[in-house]
Amino acid sequence: MLKLLRHMSGDTFEGPAVTVPTLGQLLLGTEGLALLRLAFSGDAAAREARVAEIRSLVERHGEPDLAAPLAAPEYDLDQGYGLWSQTYDQPLRLFPVEEPIVHRLLAALPVGRVLDAACGTGRHAAWLAAQGHQVVGVDGSAAMLARAAAKLPGSRFVQGDLAALPLPDASVDAALCALALVHVADLRPALRELARVVQPGGQIVISDVHPVLVQLGWQAQFRTAEGGAGFMRLNRHFAADYAAAALDAGLRLGGLYESPLTPESAMTVAREPLPDANAAAWVGLPGVIVWHFTKPGQASAQS
């Protein structure tokens, strides 16, 4: 995982200058989080181990490997997903904790027309098509859409924005938006658009990186085909922000689900150098949040 943070060339995000943390700072943060979570666990030995590692990290804080700013560049969404499209179909850390909940909700849908908004390379679109649904995928990345279309030549894929979906009103029976709303600063336009394109009585399933992880600094880190790395910054939303945006769009809550990080999905820069601290800090925290909404009204007869 440390290799993901080494320098890679390419066009980076041209936004306001931000300070980049060092590896040492991130490792100390992981130790601190682990120590807090262990505070009342009764495992005094584990707490003392964290204190010992914190002391060692502080003493070595000036060493080059710990003191150098992380060199994985930040990309905007178009550049980042263009690069990530090359490796996106490899196992990613949150997919295994997200897919069981999403597939369970989607499995209850009657066969019909389903929008996969922010479809990426089509991982959920392929699953939906295999269940017999007529799928239309929308994504802002042409590179992602090209890979999705190659997988599913019988489905329709259109480039578009979550805040301005290129579909008519009430044109689909259900919609899915997976692990994407963390990329928008304001949730309300995207929820209104999802509600607009779903017919009355239709359902909307939304999964996302859990707000707890985003508040703790998780970003959309990715590998490139050349072995480099980069990241795209995630927006910080509270769970209440999703609920407020859905209410603003006229949707009704059908269910709310959370899935914890597993040892396999708790992949951070601390996993290799500090495996015990990494596990104590991250494993068991909520990793994914999944919302199930319905659009009030009666479904049309032709559905």
pLDDT in tens, 213-225: 999 999 877 777 6
DSSP 227-283: S-EEEEPPP---HHHHHHHHHHTT-EEEEEEEEEPPTTT---TTTTT-HHHHHHHHT
3-state DSSP helix/strand/coil percent for the chain, to nearest 5? 40, 20, 40
Helices (H), 75-226: 77-84, 95-107, 123-130, 142-151, 187-197, 211-215
Query: Are 193 and 164 in contact, with CB atoms under 8 Å apart?
Result: yes
Spans of the chain, pLDDT less than 50: 1-18, 302-303
Query: Are 253 and 166 in contact, with CB atoms under 8 Å apart?
Result: no
Type of residue numbered 38 = L
Taking alpha carbons only, the member of 250, 266, 255 closest to residue 289 is 255
pLDDT at 303: 44
Domain 77-294 top-level CATH class? alpha beta
Determine how β-strand 113-117 pairs with β-strand 172-178.
Answer: parallel
pLDDT in tens, 220-245: 777 776 777 778 789 999 999 999 99
Determine how β-strand 156-159 pairs with β-strand 229-232.
Answer: unpaired
Rounded CA gap, 82 and 8, in Å? 15
pLDDT at 233: 86
Domain ranges within the chain, ordered by starting residue: 2-6+20-67, 77-294
pLDDT at 281: 97
pLDDT at 89: 74
Rounded CA gap, 47 and 67, in Å? 25
Taking alpha carbons only, the member of 213, 214, 227 closest to residue 72 is 227
Rounded CA gap, 115 and 136, in Å? 5
